[in-house]
Amino acid sequence: MNIILISFFLVVGQQVTLPQEIHGQPGQFISIPSVTDCKSVQWVVLDVGINLFPVELLRDTTTAVVSANSPGKYRVLAYAAKGDLASKPVITTVIIGDPPEPTPAPDETTSKLTKELKSLYVSLSEDDKQSKVTKLSSLYASFATTVKGEEVQTAGELLALCKEAVARVLSPSDLREIRVRIQSELVNFPTDPDAKLDEKIKKMISGKFLEISKALERITK
For residues 116 and 215, membership in a common domain is answered with yes
Q: Which of 72, 96, 120 is the last residue of a domain?
A: 96
Q: Give CA–CA dist 200/123, Å, rounded.
A: 37
Describe the crossing of helices 129-146 and 176-183 by its angle, rounded to 10 degrees.
30
Dihedral angle sign, alpha carbons of residues 199, 201, 205, 207: positive
Same domain, 39 and 61: yes
Domain end (from 76, 96, 116): 96
Please indicate, yes or no, if residue 41 is contained in any of the structural domains.
yes
Q: Is position 10 within any domain?
A: no
Same domain for 120 and 210, yes or no, is yes
Q: What is the CATH number of the domain that holds 36?
A: 2.60.40.1080
The number of helix segments (H) and strand segments (E) in the chain equals 6, 10
Q: Are residues 164 and 204 in the same domain?
A: yes
Indicate whether 84 and 114 sit together in one domain: no
Length of the chain: 221
The CA distance from 174 to 180, in Å, is 11
Domain-ending residue, one of 64, 96, 128: 96
Amino acid at residue number 172 = P
**Has residue 7 been placed in a domain?**
no
Same domain, yes or no, for 85 and 125?
Answer: no
- 45 domain-assigned: yes
In a domain, 175, yes or no: yes
Which residue range(s) make up the domain with 187? 108-219
Same domain, 128 and 169: yes
Residues 155, 177, single domain; the answer is yes
Given a contact cutoff of 8 angstroms between Cβ atoms, the answer to whether 77 and 17 are in contact is no
Q: pLDDT in tens for each of the 221 residues of the chain?
A: 443 333 433 444 568 889 999 999 999 999 999 988 888 888 999 999 999 998 777 778 889 999 999 999 999 999 887 766 777 889 999 999 975 555 555 555 558 899 999 999 999 999 999 999 999 999 999 999 999 988 899 999 999 999 999 999 999 999 999 999 999 998 889 989 999 999 999 999 999 999 999 999 999 88
β-bridge pairing 63-68 and 35-36: unpaired
CB atoms within 10 A of CB 62: 19
* Residue 5 belongs to a domain: no
Cα separation, 214 vs 166, in Å, equals 17
The rounded distance, in Å, linking the Cα atoms of 199 and 122 is 37
